[in-house]
Amino acid sequence: MVKLFYSQAKRKSISLKVYNDKSITVFADKNQLDIALRNRVSNAIKFSNPRGEISIFLGCTEDATEIKISDSGVGMNQKQVDTILAGKGSAEITRGTDNEKGTGLGLIIVNDYVKNNNGTLSVHSKEGEGTTFTITMPMQN
């Protein structure tokens, strides 16, 4: 999936790094999970500064898989984070670091898809420092 984004990242000289130490399986609708992950990686590129870095961490506990997508981009304030987690949209168009358009509607879909698959979405962000989205999904038994 990450290969889909190499050209988009290359245009902004952003490095994409994936970290995982073993094969991971989750119970989830493949299409919904793919859309959620593609949206998160695409947005990480959109809101990262040129020559930035995006890290994708895949890990697991005894009963859950965690997928963390971290960027060193523009970040968000707490109000924006709260709006995302509440599943609310925004009429406000935001711009990426290369003037790309964003409305936040993709985040609403991501949040819905994660919940549809018994997962959770958490967000840690600081303006000017970047954002980490963590998707936690149940493990396959």
- Dump pLDDT digits (tens) for 80-123: 888 878 876 665 667 778 878 777 788 889 999 999 999 999 99
End-to-end, the C-alpha distance of the chain in Å comes to 24
> How many percent of the chain have pLDDT more than 90?
55
CATH architecture of 2-15+26-138: 2-Layer Sandwich (3.30)
> What average pLDDT does the chain have?
87
Domain ranges of the chain: 2-15+26-138
Q: Which residue has the higher pLDDT, 30 or 24?
A: 30
Residue 6, Cα to own-chain centre: how many angstroms?
Answer: 16
User: CB of 47 within 8 A of CB of 96?
Assistant: yes
- Dump pLDDT digits (tens) for 66-85: 999 999 999 988 988 888 78
**Going by C-beta distance under 8 Å and a sequence separation of 6 or more, which residues neighbour residue 93?**
101, 102, 103
Residue 118, Cα to own-chain centre: how many angstroms?
Answer: 17
User: CB of 88 within 8 A of CB of 62?
Assistant: no
* Report field, pTM of the whole predicted structure over 0.85: yes
Per-residue tokens: 5: 């984004």
